Amino acid sequence: TGYSSFYDTAALLITFILLGRTLEAIAKGRTSRAIRSLMDLQAKVAVVVRDGKEIKIPIEEVEVGDVVLVRPGDKIPIDGEVVEGKSRVDESMITGEPAPVSKSVGDSVVGATVNKNGVLKVRATKVGKDTVLSQIVKMVEDAQTNKPPIQRKADAIANVFTPVVLTISIATFLLWAVVLGQDWTLALSFSIAVLVAACPCALGLATPTAIMVGIGKGAQHGILIKTGSGLEVIPTIDTIVFDKTGTLTIGKPTVTDILAVSGTKAEEVLRLVAAVEKNSEHPLAEAIVYYAEEQGMKIPQASDFVSMTGLGVQAIVEGSTLLVGNDRLMSENSVEVGDLQGHAAMLQEHGKTTVFISANGKPLAVLGIADKLKDTSIHAVRALEKMGITVWIITGDKTKTAQAIAASIGIKNVMAEVMPAEKASQIKQLQSEGHIVAMVGDGINDAPALAQADIGIALGSGTDVSVETGDIVLVKDDLMDVVSGIELGSRTMTKIKQGFFWALIYNMALLPLAAGLLYPAFGIILRPEFAGLAMALSSVSVVTNALLLNRFKPAKHEEGPDAEPTSQEAVSKIAIDPICKMDVETASAELYSDYNGKRYYFCAPYCKTIFDAEPRKYEGQDVMH
């Protein structure tokens, strides 16, 4: 029969399995390429200045407080603060921005970024495992070793599969040797082939290899996926909620309007408001104080400062009790705002946040504050909607303001006047309606909402990647990375499912062949060594398929006839309102003034009125993007 001995079978079986394992190891080694490339970014040595001497030491020996000398072309070895010198630093490995950033005394720098043209002395503030790069590497390593639910299911199947295959192998031997009366060597060959062919290796490799590649690839592009379980949820997202301030907008609000009651000077209002807000850390407060300081005002001291979450603040300035906040604060303190309510409504219709001011129970003014949209907001929203995802904006702003901002971005669904503590309950409400919700926020103020969402996407703002809340941390300040993260997660899960499908098809096709199903009719026998080769190639194919994720490229801004204009010709048709800094399309603008050979465009009549009163004040400002 040709099966009197199994010496050649044993030798070939071991050879083919070892060959398969070698190919598999090579392929699996490539799955960790991303993490190795991240680690390679780190400088290996540093030049520290101690006792006036420059000493080159291994990076591991640098301590917090050491002053490190960084010459042009060198990698900055640690996270720190510039204490001497001026240069430009390539931070593309963190921010993704190709243009170098100017750095001087007092500025922060990140380890592994590249000093371009000047000599810097940097005091180390974070070293070793505390640096931004080390945090990124650790986050990726933790995520790659975290088992998602789908992997646990695969492990459970594999645990059941093994005894089932043993049973099939024994049954195959008994069928051929006892029931069909065939030679025992033939029966043993079929039995061994079943054992070898049915190894659940491909099933076990499908998930971890795809996750390693997917998470590593994300890290290379500043998309830090913190858990494998998060990857599994991403393809099911049907709703995404964006916080407004600092997420859809740049997070640097600017005072654009001071509309005071009759008989009250705007400058006096600003001086008093700045005194109150100097005690607050709210972004709007910082904008007011910055604007007052920019005007060269001397800000008086405030006392008895009280902050009321979701309403505003109160303090005493120069003997007067001032309230600064929203209309609810005024209403709860029986302040009749009168005509200021109409002014506020007009500001809100232009997407501006309004702040009311009263003194001793009498209204003084309403401020208009605008925060410029990020360049990528419109592109990201449009891309998400094309993916079939419903987009919401959530904000504490008044409804009119929120609707105006949402309309400018293209968002149809608005949650306005939501206090910070209520954001999580709004997310929960969407979930109760059957939606799988992703929340995008800054990771600090939005922590409860990020935790409540099925997927929390936190903006790490470049140097802060240690955001506790959030399943995904975006290192770069680019909302297109939200789109990229969802695309990458979906592709990774597709590769996992393809691996499972291949493992299933392989076993369904090979087990009957290994058991001798085709032998009676066609004389076809799958010898054990070739069953081993098929098993090995099955595992290699699953790993190789996962490696195709390395071809993933992040989402880019739309191109084509429906895309936002990006050429210089198109951009040149967008003017800047000199009063409120809002964008104005020159082709459709109805309000403008000519002054000293320049045309200034306005978004609203009150902006034009303010300009026409003192045009010299705004002369020299940029009028076009």
Q: Which residues are catalytic?
A: 243
What values do phi and psi take at 305, rounded to 5?
-70, 135
Strands 79-85 and 302-308: unpaired
Identity of the residue numbered 14 = I
Cβ contact 370:342 at 8 Å: no
Between CA 89 and CA 77 the distance in angstroms is: 13
DSSP 442: -
Read off φ and ψ for residue 371, nearest 5 degrees: -125, 120
Measured between alpha carbons, how far is 526 from 190 in angstroms, rounded to an integer? 8
| CB 329, CB 323: distance < 8 Å | yes
Give the span between the Cα atoms of 184 and 533, in whole angstroms: 24
Q: Are 259 and 366 in contact (CB under 8 A)?
A: yes
Burial of 178 (0-12, 13-18, 19+ CB in 10 A): exposed
Q: How many CB atoms lie within 10 A of CB 83?
A: 14
DSSP assignment letter at 300: P
Residues 273-304: b if buried by 16+ CB within 10 A, e if exposed? bbbbbbbbebbbbebbbbbbeeeebebeebee
DSSP code of residue 420: G
Cβ atoms of 109 and 476 closer than 8 Å: no
Contacts of 479 (CB under 8 A, 6+ apart): 247, 248, 374, 376, 377, 379, 380, 440
Number of other residues whose CB lies within 10 A of the CB of residue 98 = 8
Q: Which of 211, 215, 198, 197 is nearest to 157 (CA)?
A: 198
